[in-house]
Amino acid sequence: MKTKLVRLFAAIAAAGALTTLGAAEAKVIDLWPEGVPDLKADAGPEKDVGGGRFTNIHHPTLTMFAPEKPNGTAIIYAPGGGYIRVAGGVDGGEIAHWLNGLGVTVFMLKYRNVEYGHPAPLRDALRAVRLLRSRAAEFGVQPNRIGMLGGSAGGHLAASAGTLFDAPEGRTGAELDRVSGRPDFLVLIFPVITMQEPFGHATSVHALIGQKPTEE
């Protein structure tokens, strides 16, 4: 019994260490330093609504959570939120802490949502892949080991990046468009995987493509 308790407290301490590590080493990376494409003229400040949830995102970013012993793999984490918000959890939540423990460098993506609709989230996701791939050495990752993980609406965004990486609506004419935006692997967690009835998630559908989208 004593041995089990020692192991339990050791695990708790390790989890705390990971949390501290993530908070201490988090680095915020601007996705569009040259200017956000189609930025709203009335864009207000981003809102932190608590619990690692963010709304009113007009300036997309990646927040880097580096593990103690990086293994060269990078995961762009696209949190869910129904395309209304980005709900990634405090310091990247359990997902970032777990992946850091495996040696994976996590980049949490704050992408544009209902204020813009399609194709803004797709552009943000593909820009994230292109940016990391072009600066892989700087971030200590391998350019051929950059994947995306997303849950719920974030899973839809990750799946979109994995299938629409060459789509014209995912490009903005920037120099980085020449870099491949194709993720090397995908992890989809309870994803919104269709926009069509009866299986589409109504909140995500309306936020991304409008209340009455055409079939096209």
Q: What is the CATH number of the domain that holds 66?
A: 3.40.50.1820
Structural domain count of the chain? 1
Q: How confident is the model at residue 213 (pLDDT cuts 50, 70, 90)?
A: confident
| Residue 215 covered by a domain | no
| Residue 197 covered by a domain | yes
Q: Residues 46, 75: contact at Cβ < 8 Å? A: no
| Residue 216 covered by a domain | no
> 64-87, pLDDT tens digit by residue?
999 999 999 999 999 999 999 999
Question: Helix H segments across the chain?
Answer: 2-25, 93-101, 120-134, 136-139, 153-163, 202-209
| Residue 38 covered by a domain | yes
**What is the residue range of 190's domain?**
2-209
Q: How confident is the model at residue 24 (pLDDT cuts 50, 70, 90)?
A: very low
Q: What is the pLDDT of residue 25?
A: 57
> 145-191, pLDDT tens digit by residue?
999 999 999 999 999 999 999 999 999 999 999 999 999 999 999 99
| Residue 22 covered by a domain | yes
The pTM of this model reads 0.87
Q: What is the pLDDT of residue 26?
A: 84
How far apart are alpha carbons 169 and 181 in whole angstroms?
13
Q: What is the pLDDT of residue 198?
A: 86
How far apart are alpha carbons 89 and 78 in whole angstroms?
11
| Residue 214 covered by a domain | no
Could you tell me what percent of the chain has a pLDDT over 70?
A: 88
Cα distances (Å, whole numbers) of residue 102 to 68, 95, 152, 216: 10, 11, 23, 42
| Residue 186 covered by a domain | yes
| Residue 34 covered by a domain | yes
Q: Residues 180, 126: contact at Cβ < 8 Å? A: no
Average pLDDT of the chain to the nearest whole number: 90
